[in-house]
């Protein structure tokens, strides 16, 4: 399910971007080329970051590194790899980088939300124990997690909110790069909060009990805010 929905996420997100490419003076066919390279970069970046977090396991089971169909990626690694690869491809094709980034940013929540549905069906990235009426049981490696938060579905809901906000901002974009920076800020805030109820695929660190995802979220949101404020002041 995860692999299938990753492909569906790519088609839905890129299809949305292609339908709105004319607003940024971008040819849809050139966008598809860049998006495909961005997808490959995202898969590679997300998988490498996931492997890096679990080096001891993959060192003992190296054949599993390429087993992408089983799931196992980090969204931060995927976003960084995908954005970097996609913008590299866009530059090679002579596209304006800021406009391309903004066009892609509005579609990112679409792909992310569909991907999290895949995580839910795959049983990864689940939440912490709870006794709420909507708690779910997952069985990774055949072991019952007990009643846990469906954290993947919380992420789907958050992606809908992110998409609605970015869609509204797109209609009155004030400066190039605004939408990508807004996505970074909002995604960082959402991810910081959802980490409190995540358990599967989450690693704890020693910094005030925060997870690696929460620390990365604060960094991404902070950097995004800094650049957003600077760009808005220049525009003003």
> Rounded to two decimals, what is the model's pTM?
0.85
CB atoms within 10 A of CB 233: 8
CA distance linking residue 10 with residue 27, whole number of Å: 18
Q: Which residue has the tokens 């909002």?
A: 186
Distance CA(171)–CA(166), nearest Å, equals 9
Q: Is the pLDDT of residue 137 over 70?
A: yes
The pLDDT score that the predictor gives to residue 228 is: 96
Q: Which residue has the tokens 């004319």?
A: 22
Least trusted range by pLDDT, from 115-124, 145-154, 173-182? 115-124
Tell me what pLDDT residue 153 has: 96
How far apart CA 104 and CA 84 sit, in angstroms, is: 12
Phi, psi at 110, each rounded to 5° = -65, -50
Average pLDDT over residues 85-90: 87
Looking at the predicted structure, is the pLDDT value of residue 71 above 70? no
State the pLDDT confidence band at 90, using cuts at 50, 70 and 90. Answer: confident
CB 103 within 8 A of CB 167: no
């Amino acid at each position: 399910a995860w692999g299938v929905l990753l492909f569906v996420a790519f088609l839905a997100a890129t299809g949305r971007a292609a339908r709105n490419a004319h607003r940024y003076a971008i040819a849809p066919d050139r966008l598809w080329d860049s998006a495909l390279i961005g997808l490959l970069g995202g898969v590679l970046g997300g998988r490498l970051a996931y492997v890096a977090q679990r080096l001891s396991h993959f060192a003992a089971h190296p054949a599993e590194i390429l087993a992408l169909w089983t799931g196992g990626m980090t969204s931060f690694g995927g976003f960084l790899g995908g954005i970097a690869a996609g913008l590299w491809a866009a530059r090679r094709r002579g596209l304006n980088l800021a406009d391309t980034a903004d066009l892609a940013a509005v579609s990112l929540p679409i792909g992310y939300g569909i991907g999290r549905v895949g995580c839910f069906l795959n049983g990864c990235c689940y939440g912490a124990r709870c006794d709420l009426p909507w708690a779910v049981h997952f069985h990774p490696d055949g072991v019952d997690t007990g009643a846990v938060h469906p954290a993947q579905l919380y992420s789907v809901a958050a992606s809908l909110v992110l998409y609605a906000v970015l869609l509204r901002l797109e209609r009155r974009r004030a400066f190039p790069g605004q939408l990508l920076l807004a996505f970074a800020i909002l995604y960082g805030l959402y991810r910081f909060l959802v980490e409190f109820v995540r358990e599967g695929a989450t690693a704890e660190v020693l910094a005030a009990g925060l997870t690696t995802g929460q620390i990365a979220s604060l960094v991404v949101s902070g950097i995004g805010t800094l650049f957003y404020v600077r760009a808005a002041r220049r525009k003003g």
